[in-house]
Structure 1
Amino acid sequence: MHLKIEDTRLSTLLNSIFIGILIGLIVSTFRLAIEHLLEISQSIYRLASSSWHWLALIVVINIILAVLVGLLVKTSPQISGSGIPQIEGQLSGEYEEKWWPVLWKKFTGGILAIGSGLMLGREGPSIQLGAVVGQGWSETLHYSGSQRRVLIAGGAAAGLSAAFNAPIASTLFVLEEIYHNFSPLVWISALTSAVVSNFVSLNFFGLTPVLAIRYPHSLPLGLYWHLIALGILLGLFGRLYQLCTLNLKKWYQKISFLPRWLHSLVPFITIIPIGILWPSYLGGGNSIITAIANKNPIFMTLFTLLIIRFIFSMVSYGSGLPGGIFLPILTLGAIFGALYVSIMANLNLIDIHYLPNFVIYAMAGYFAAIGKAPFTAILLITEMVGSLQHLMPLAVVALTAYIVLDLLGGEPIYESLLHQLVPTITATPSGPQDRVEIPIVEGSKLDGLAVRNISWPKESLLISIRRGSNSIIPSGDSVIKPGDTLIVTTHRGNRKKIAAHFAKIN
């Protein structure tokens, strides 16, 4: 028996293993540093509640941190925010960044911002850290075009996997939300690097799932109407979150007396009263999620927590500090799910014992709505919780929330943030050659058309049609079929323009 492995796939596997190990070490260190710094910050806030000396120290420390992190963002604006829109833009050809400054500044700035208690997530920075490691390795090997993109996408998956210990969901997130293409080389790279980085991370944090929530009661079928109601509410709440997030930069611009890089002072100062009164509310929120599921808080506690987390996650993210919205979104979803059960239990419409279930369901529904990535949401929560028992209710809530947000005109949040980062798509008729993969879906307007009858954009050339495991060299008489993938070459700067052209007619 003769075993044959294509050179391209073999090199992709080997490179993915290497960057998976490297990213696993970097992101695990990143996680550990944030956790330890957050514990120190919460301890100091508890001391400040009874001593003005500690309060004064916190004010001084937070001002210094705001200036330091603000300077990092000022010198490298690419580290601002979660980093996911930047990676999506880079993979589409709209955006470029130098990998080394982003790597060390995002690492340092993320630890200082998230570890100090601001309501930001570690997952976005982890994804960007992974992507720039992939970029750096590709540049070391002098890769370009699709080879370079494959390693960037694989690095992004590895970063998320090490952050949440969810390799399958991380792979799907890159394909569904960032790369928007199920290219074989991309999913091989993404899955390999995600599994390897997850293995490294497990050696740091153990085998316990990130959100180990125990729920002994399965939801009866007679209560499934609650899933529809919850999904509708999450869709509405998700659209509110989107609108607020997309207007944050505009609202911050009204603080005209501070330069943009010093907007970091706003969250670092305003978080102080929250830290003194409720130190456990600080940080990304994963400890809050497990606490809610295990302790069944009363209605007013949940309502207060929801308002505080919503407002201060906006204040934190809108300042441009390095930190994500991924984990804050899950935290808000968990609180909303618990609040829903609390209300329904008071109305005698559901038993309060189902609160942990709805914490889980609502996390998936809220992320599915805001990110418009229901598959990722279902798999992510399944891996983070560590149980397959809730797949059906997760799917019902996620799909309902997704449909509601779609009817309200919402777009995927990271794609919308990318449009703010790169407002217009412009053609670049020069630069290195690159390729775009156009999947032909069922019902496409291109179905049944001959190549000669298709309107091809300028500066583009169809070089191959991938049909199953075969590659067809096209001619004018070649007929396009559903399931095909068109391989089109163009200049790097035109990739997004070409993809947008076919998205309209596909």
Structure 2
Amino acid sequence: MQVRENYKLSQVKTIVNGIIIGMLAGSTVSVFRWSIGHMTNLMRYLYINSIHHLSFLLTAIVINVIIGLLVGWFLKQQPDIKGSGIPQVEGQLLGEVDYGWWAVLWRKFIGGILAIGSGLYLGREGPSIQLGSTLGQGVAQFTKQVGFDRQVLISSGAAAGLSAAFNAPIASTLFVLEEIYHNFSTNIWIVSLTSAVTSDMVATYVFGLKPVLYMRSTPLPLKYFSWVIILGIVLGVLGRLYQLVILRMGKWYRHTHISWYFNGLIPLLLVIPLGALFPHLLGGGSDIILRLSSANYPTLILCLYFVIRFVFSMLSYGSGLPGGIFLPILCLGGLIGAIVGSIAVNLGLMNSLYFSSFIIMGMAGYFAAISKAPFTAILLITEMVGTLTHLLGLAVVSLIAYGVLDLLNGKPVYYSMLQQLLKVQTKMNLGRTVEIMETVYAGSQMDGKMVRQIKWPKGSLLTKIQRNGVEIVPAGGTLIRWGDTLFINVSTKNQHPITQRIIALTTET
């Protein structure tokens, strides 16, 4: 057994890198977030006045056409800025996607501000994650870190980006572990949490301490939890509908016979009349979420808002413009919760005092179903709303929605988007290897076996084992135990099936 003597020094160095990445990501995403907010307010003003003044209408059309052409040009130059960026980050951490960090960083930054700031139903969180990850990639390049160390910095940048976007450092860290990296390694979560907290401090300095989606609410008593079950079922079914539609939007846009990088012109023109008629529905959806608890909308109006948000969210994201689905999903979930809560109140089956609880639970359950990341959903909404009193309701609705979507054969939406991304790639980088990291779980096929006893997939090579902070160079007789973290070099040719086989060997049977 060989033990690296400077292991602790290496850990300190990595954490310092995490602080640097957190500061960079926090600053970048704060400017990104601030710019989007101010541009959205400007465009909303133009749209509202376009009804009464032709000059405002013409100005809005000219601005949005210019945005569509400019961002389309960015997309043609660098296709990896397309959409939210989360599938690209996930693919990068799996070694299946790679790109130059600077080329993506500045185009995603400018393109995201223009696309989201125009009022399209897109979220800032996905681009923020990609902005943070590219900054992590840049730090790795400047410090000459490769392999697993580079992946650590990229993932910590992703956590920092989401943290700055939502002021939710704990949920941001968990999202990277649960949804993007699919690994709870100590190395990953410590550095990701460090960068997320650092980034949150920067964003808090800019935007203040008030939670992003703060609303007054009263936790739901247990006697009303039958409505939570109903809400969870509805969220699961509608979550599956969301997945089916959004994963097919690319095919729909191909029927327009417009060059794919200029598809954004369609929603950019359609958003003008929408912004004039429903200005409070513009953007990612935070405005309408904050209005729901106090506006006393009739149930039919809530249903109308849901249909508008659902359809135009699909058109906005399907166009390929830089922007995410994270916040739009929360908005749709909040509307579903408001509809169910409104029905319960109108039937006299529930006190209106608990209406806000349904909005909060709806956001968590819808995100938990679509992303299949219930832990993240529970913590994210808790941090964004700013209260711990809804934890039981959030947990129940998230698990029910998750289970319903699973019964409907739904897959994590970002993973499905990654598979689509890989299918459209014209080239595969053959002949290379990438380093992956997997944790051995108790009861798995590897647990308690020696290295030579394991049928390793062709194209994989175990290079080291990390156990309780100690790194071991493996030999044929080395015993693998649960809790070990394995570092494995995998050929980029057929990388995905090889990785899936290794995951099957390390997880519970």
TM range (shorter): over 0.9
Instruction: Answer whether contact 1:212 1:386 (CA < 8 A) is retained.
Output: yes
The equivalent of 2:375 in structure 1 is: 375
Aligned to 2:120: 118
Q: Distance in 2 between matches of 1:141 and 1:266?
A: 43
- Counterpart of 2:214 in structure 1: which amino acid? A
Q: Which deviates more from structure 2 when the two are superposed, residues 447-456 or residues 369-378? A: 447-456
> TM-score, normalised to structure 2's length?
0.94
Partner of 2:254: 253
| CA apart distance, 1:497 | 4.2
Structure 2 CA distance for partners of 1:455 and 1:282, relative to 1, 3 Å: same
Structure 1 vs Structure 2 CA RMSD: 1.9
Give the distance between the partners of 2:424 and 2:165, measured in 1 at CA. Answer: 32
Shift of 1:150: 0.7
Instruction: Give the drift of 1:486.
Output: 2.5
Note the 1:278-289 alignment, pairs <5 A: 278-289=278-289
Offset of 1:279 from its aligned partner?
A: 1.1
Partner of 2:221: 220
Give the counterpart letter for 2:161 in structure 1: G
How big is the shift at 1:495? 5.3
> Is 2:504 the partner of 1:498?
no
Matches within 5 A, 1:78-477: 78-215=80-217, 217-256=218-257, 258-423=258-423, 430-431=431-432, 434-477=434-477
**Residues 463-489 of structure 1, C-alpha deviations (whole Å, 9 max, x = no match):** 333343444444434444333332323
CA–CA distance in structure 2, aligned partners of residues 436 and 264 of structure 1: 36
Gaps of 5+ in 2: 1-5
**Distance change in 2, residues 1:136/1:492 (3 Å):** farther
Q: Which residue of 1 aligns with 2:74?
A: 72
Q: Secondary structure at the match of 2:482?
A: coil
Are residues 227 and 442 of structure 1, via their aligned partners in 2, closer, same or farther at CA, if it must alter by over 3 Å?
farther
Contact 2:239 2:369 in 1 (8 A): yes
Q: Tell me how far apart the structure 1 counterparts of residues 385 and 162 of structure 2 sit (CA, whole Å).
A: 16
Deviation at 1:424, TM superposition (A): 9.1
How far, CA to CA, are the matches of 1:451 and 1:296 in structure 2?
A: 63
Q: How far apart are the structure 1 equivalents of 2:230 and 2:480?
A: 42
Percentage of pairs with the same residue = 51
Residues 113-156 of structure 1, C-alpha deviation per residue, up to 9 Å, x if partnerless? 11110000000000000000110111111111011111100000
What is the DSSP-based 3-state SS (H/G/I as helix, E as strand, rest coil) of the residue aligned with 2:423? coil
Q: Distance in 2 between matches of 1:315 and 1:476?
A: 54
Q: Which amino acid aligns with 1:327?
A: L
Structure 1 segments unaligned to the other structure (5+ residues): none
SS of structure 2 residue aligned to 1:357: helix
- Contact 2:457/2:502 (CA < 8 Å) preserved in 1? no
Deviates more, 1:243-252 or 1:496-505: 496-505
Question: Does the C-alpha gap of structure 1 residues 262 and 360 become closer, same or farther in structure 2, counting only changes over 3 Å?
Answer: same
What is aligned with 1:42? Answer: 44
CA distance in 2, matches of 1:5, 1:503: 26
Q: CA deviation at 1:63?
A: 1.4
For the residues of structure 1 that align with 2:485 and 2:296, how far apart are their CA atoms?
A: 50
Counterpart of 1:7 in structure 2 is: 9
Residue 350 of structure 1 deviates from its aligned partner by 1.6
Alignment TM-score, normalising by the size of structure 1 = 0.95
Q: Distance in 1 between matches of 2:502 and 2:429?
A: 18
Shift of residue 304 of structure 1?
1.0
> For 1:274-293, what per-residue CA distance to the aligned partner results, in whole angstroms no more than 9, with x for missing partners?
11111111111111111112
